[in-house]
Each structure stands twice: as structure tokens, then as C-alpha cells.
Amino acid sequence: MTPRPILAVLAGGTSAEREVSLGSGRACASALARSFPTRLFRVEEDALPAGLDPARHVVFSTLHGTFGEDGGMQRLLEAAGITYAGCDARASAWTMDKTRTKQAAAERGVKGAPALVFTAEAKPSAAAVIAQLGEEVVVKPNAEGSSVGLHLVRGTEALATVLAGITAGSWLIEARIAGRELSVGLLGGRALGVVEIRPRSGVYDYASKYTKGATEYFAPAPLEAAVTAAVQRAAEAAFAACGCRDYARADFILSAQNEPIFLEINTLPGMKETSLLPMSARCAGLDFIALVRELVTPALERFHLAGIPVSA
């Protein structure tokens, strides 16, 4: 009998989200080890970790941020012929670019907040931004996760200060939409439960995400059934628009008119038991161990179809 493939869980990486990734990797490796031969690989550089074998390993990556979920690691895995779970390199690169993601979703009828994108070398004036988008705006990197670099700004003077501090990269400014923050997990393109996020500070920034007790979560979100269904439909449409596969998480603001305003798709979301995707999955009856099994199943099927049998 051909040995079962080993699930290679990748964690760490070189992005600003390294510590978050290490936590996700440990949690997922522990859960997967209950059902599969599993090995945790710590990624220390922008390269494939030593020891990966396309004939023996199926990769489950928990790398977050640049290189991890922007298509960098995925391109290396594909070049090496290694089967992996999650979105492919093209969809990963696409969804890491928030502007391209919103444009693709808009073509499927999924509304986003009014926005503009710029580079550090060609910054707009604060006055021009306020004239176009209004007094309250959100400034964030166009290709980062976990609310890294997020600024909520009111007024021309405050925005000018934020813009002056931007020295590199591509950035996005959105009109700030007052409303409720929602997140939806997607499994095989189908939406799971809707989670509501209520940061005690009023801002769901990095500190609110990763400081114990700083944010309240409601899973499922206390919404009317029709609103829940509308958010789920929007999440599924955005997933399809960006060519995603296997799983992802979509984030929204629910406006005062109960209209879901799309923010972004996260193709490798946080994966500790208390993270948003697992919360969303629990609403659909999947505990953490069952969820991670579901996340890797399509990759195991691809491994089998590639000609290497997966034994029971």
C-alpha cells in the first residue's frame, strides 16, 4: 500500500504577520495530526523550506501577508510540482491587491466603498482626497493584511499628517462607511456563517485583533435572515470573481441601509481556533478539527488525481 501523504504545514515567514502565522501553524498542525501524518515547517526566508517532496507532501500553508498569500510561495510550490491547499498563485496575487479585488467583485455586482489608490511617489493632496471621498476616510496599504498600517482619519489636517508619513508602497484610501463589521468564511466557494466584529475601541486595527478582550465577536451575527443571505451571496460572488479555490474569508461593512459593502478577501486567514474563519465555520456546524480536514480535502484529492494514490 502506498503510504499516505504527509501534510506539510508552513508557518512563520518574513512578513509583518509572522507571529500570527506561527500561532495559526501550530494550531492547524495539532488539529491535522489527529487525522493525518503531519509535519510543521517553519519558514525563515522567502523560499521553499528544505525537505519538501512533491511525491510525499501536500502543503497546507498558514503564511500570512507578503510572500505568504500574495502568490510568492504559491508560485514556488507550483514550480516544484508540490500539491497545496488553498488559492492558486494567480488568485492569491489578485486578492492581495485590494483595488483589483474590489474591481473584480464590482463586476459581479458586489459594491465597495468609494476609493482611490496611489503610490508613495505620487501622493494626492489631502484636500483633494477629502473633496472626493468626504471628511472621514480609511487609509491602508493596498497589499497587506491584519490591518497592518491601517489609519482611520477625519479631516484635511489629520489626513495630511498621515500622507506625510507614507514613504513607500502602494496605498488605498476609502470613504469610511459607518456600519457593522462582518466577516464570512467560504468553503469550496460556499459561504459559511456570518460573524459580527465589535471592537471596544471602535476601530478593528491590529491591536483590536490580537489583544485579548479588545473585541467582541458574535457568531452568528444577530442579523435578519434576508440580510445574512445577502452578505453570504456577496461573499460567494466575490470569491468566484477573483478565481479563488478551496477556501477564503470575505470582509464587509454593513451600512445603515443593511447593504453589505465589500472590503476584501483574505485567502490565507488566521487559523487559530478563535480566528474568524473557524468562528464562521462553527456557525455551520464545523468544529476546528472538522474544519481543517475540510480545508485540506480538495488538495488531497488533487494529489490523488496527479497519480499518487492516497491510502486510507
Cell triple for 252: 464587509
* Structure confidence at residue 199 (pLDDT): 84
Task: Name the superfamily (CATH) of residues 115-175.
Answer: ATP-grasp fold, A domain (3.30.1490.20)
Find out whether the peptide bond into 220 is cis, omega within 30 degrees of 0: yes
Q: Tell me the CA distances in angstroms from 22 to 25, 53, 104, 142, 227, one per residue in order.
A: 5, 22, 31, 24, 35
Strand 57-61 relative to strand 6-12, pairing: parallel
Cell triple for 214: 479588545
Q: What's the CA gap between 79 and 70, in Å, rounded?
A: 16
Stretch 220-227: mean pLDDT: 98
pLDDT tier at 252, thresholds 50, 70, 90: very high
Q: What's the CA gap between 143 and 31, in Å, rounded?
A: 30
Q: What does pLDDT average to over the chain?
A: 92
For domain 94-111+178-267, give the fold: D-amino Acid Aminotransferase; Chain A, domain 1 (3.30.470)
pLDDT at 298 over 60: yes
Q: Kindly list the catalytic residues.
A: 17, 146, 210, 249, 251, 264, 266, 270
pLDDT tier at 1, thresholds 50, 70, 90: very low
Stretch 270-296: mean pLDDT: 95
Q: What burial class does residue 7 get, using C-beta atoms within 10 Å of its C-beta: 0-12 exposed, 13-18 middle, 19+ buried?
A: buried
> Is 115-175 the same fold as 94-111+178-267?
no
Q: What's the CA gap between 121 and 35, in Å, rounded?
A: 50
- Residue 264 bridge partners (DSSP): 251
Q: Tell me which of 149 and 166 has the higher pLDDT.
A: 166
Strand order in the sheet with 247-255: 215-218, 190-199, 179-187, 247-255, 260-266
6-86+289-305 belongs to CATH 3.40.50.20: yes
- What digits encode the pLDDT tens for the residues 56-72? 999 999 999 889 999 99
Q: Tell me which of 147 and 158 has the higher pLDDT.
A: 158
pLDDT over 90 for what percent of the chain?
82
* Structure confidence at residue 283 (pLDDT): 96
pLDDT at 245 over 90: yes
| DSSP track, 157-201 | HHHHHHHHT--SSEEEEEEPPPEEEEEEEEETTEEEEEEEEEETT
Q: Which amino acid is at 188?
A: G
Q: State the greatest distance between any 2 C-alpha atoms of the chain, in Å, as a whole number.
A: 69
Q: What's the CA gap between 95 and 91, in Å, rounded?
A: 6
- Residue 179 bridge partners (DSSP): 255
Domain spans of the chain, in order of start: 6-86+289-305, 94-111+178-267, 115-175
Stretch 136-144: mean pLDDT: 88
pLDDT at 236 over 60: yes
